[in-house]
Structure 1
Amino acid sequence: MGSSPDESMMNSGDFGTLEDENDREEFINKLLTLPSRNDWNFPEPLYQYQGFWNFSPYIIGLMLAQKRFQAQPNDIILCSHPKTGPTWLKALAFANVTRSQYDDSTSPLLTKSPHDVVPFIELDAAQGVDNRDLKVPLAATHGPFNSLPTSFRTLGCKIVYICRDPKDAFMSLWHFMTKQIWFPLLSITFEDAFEMFCEGVLVHGPYWEHVLEYWRASLESPEMVLFFKYEDLKTNTSFHVKRLADFMGFAFTPEEEKQGAVDKIIELCSLETLSSLEVNRNGKQRENSMFECRNGLFFRKGKVGDWKSAMTPEMGARLDRIVELKLSGSGLTLSAN
């Protein structure tokens, strides 16, 4: 059984605009029935909700989204585990679906973060805000497939999922966590965090189960779920950008390709371009909330194999063995190197 959620995390500027206090009470009471872990003395436990671990503010946001989010029939939801390429995916998807409205010199991506132009359904729900532009049929989530709001599957909305070598995913997540405003509250070392990741008990973990849910859904319903690997997108960006556009229903015409539309989108959404913009150098996400962070944190190296900069070969081999065992029989492999 869980222990009481920490009040400093629960009252950090979120949940102030819920429709009524009954939701807050209902969800907190539900949290207290969930399995919990606090081996590393976090200010509050990690709770296991629908098979995945997280802190209470995120879980409550997910519960709210499940209860209240109403998908539109033409919606496309961009799904990912954190730090596997969602910022790049959001930028590419947004540039694709809005290319008839904007070009590479007028795109909102020049003045807004990719996370501002594609609403994040559970974080918006947690803060009681609605950032949807119904003219742009995109939304995003870190939630697992089986936790998506029912309306997405009922309406047959398209889903795009991106994953990454778990070694690089862990490294990127660690760097992101250590620069968050709330990280000083977390008394955890790199080695402890790695142990948690290997055990599957870290935010949004187990990583392999998150990936497997979407992988299996893509095999069962390829017309509904498009499954990407970050490494493939890096290796052959043009091919996969066109693949993404085709799947979303915004295929490039031969004339557009001849005029360089694909290359322009790739350039606009590149790490070099986006990370150099003022909004991504100095802007912030979700100020004065549990989820506050600097936009610059979403742009680091984007390098395949960066895990080698901090993990030992033994650590890498161990994580590879764990993931290989967990994915056994699925037909999916994740280790890039």
Structure 2
Amino acid sequence: MAKTNCTIISHFIFLGFSPYPKVEIILFVLCLLMYLITLLGNIILISVSIWDPHLHTPMYFFLSNLSFLDIWYTSSALTPMLANFASGQNTISFSGCVVQMYFSLAMGSTECVLLSMMAYDRYVAICNPLRYPVIMNKRVCVHIAVGSWVTGCLTALVETMSVLQLSLCGTNIINHFTCEILAVLRLVYVDTSTVEFLMLVVSILLLPMPMVLICISYAFILSNILRISSADGRSRAFSTCAAHLTVVVLFYGTALSMYLKPSAIDSQEVDKFMALLYAVLIPMLNPIVYSLRNKEVKTAVKRLLVRNRLCALYSQ
């Protein structure tokens, strides 16, 4: 077998959106604003879920987990991008790229599992309301959350390690704004069919399968809701699921279009803009969707603001 001379890569260069300089400036401003909104919205949602006793329920426990991983996911993708744009140096170290890739995969995979578990929580709440406190007790909720995080982190570790086993030769230029695994694989000059098959298996386990579980849960939920005689009862039942369904459609719609699209469709520019939606827009919309459509969250925020105002007055 002939030996291949490979230059050891110590850093990578992002092309980002440099082919569109005017768009790049607009995107930087938009991404910065959306990142700040994402941090603020998710931190507020976590805070009210912790501090307000009325929100100490399984639904808001899972929602706090979702907000926490959204903060990590957006930060891992956007912080280097924003820092590089501000400094004018679109580079990242090899180790930094590996960490960024891992966090991106881990947070995305965890969200896939967590959203399906949240659908199960809604199923139990609506279809078995009397047994809900027993079925979804604190211990079960913690086990579900831990299981979601462990599954996401382990699958991300497998994918990341499989990429590191490959030889990165020649160019160190990534045609992306982040160390997205598909973009990094394009730098590999050896056969990547094994890694691509592994990614396909993981993608099927973490995308279509949780989607099937979500669809089954909501089929039972819809059947149960339609049997409710009062219009007010049906409306309240629908409202408890509307926010979660909106988030599921946004998240899975973008993820499926990115990772399970036909191989004939291979536009890196489209991939970059889809990744931007996946990494920035959805984590920003999650707390907005849950707060705007949820009276409990809005009431909890008001109580928190009133409490802080009173504390400020007493301290003067």
**Same fold, judged at TM 0.5 (above):** no
**TM-score bracket for the superposition, by shorter chain length:** under 0.3
Give 1 or 2 for the bigger CA radius of gyration: 2
Comparing both structures, which one devotes a greater share of its residues to strand?
1
Question: Whose helix proportion is higher, 1 or 2?
Answer: 2
With normalisation by structure 1, the TM-score equals 0.24
For CA contacts below 8 A with separation 6 or more, give which structure has more relative contact order.
2
The alignment's TM-score, normalised by the length of structure 2, stands at 0.26
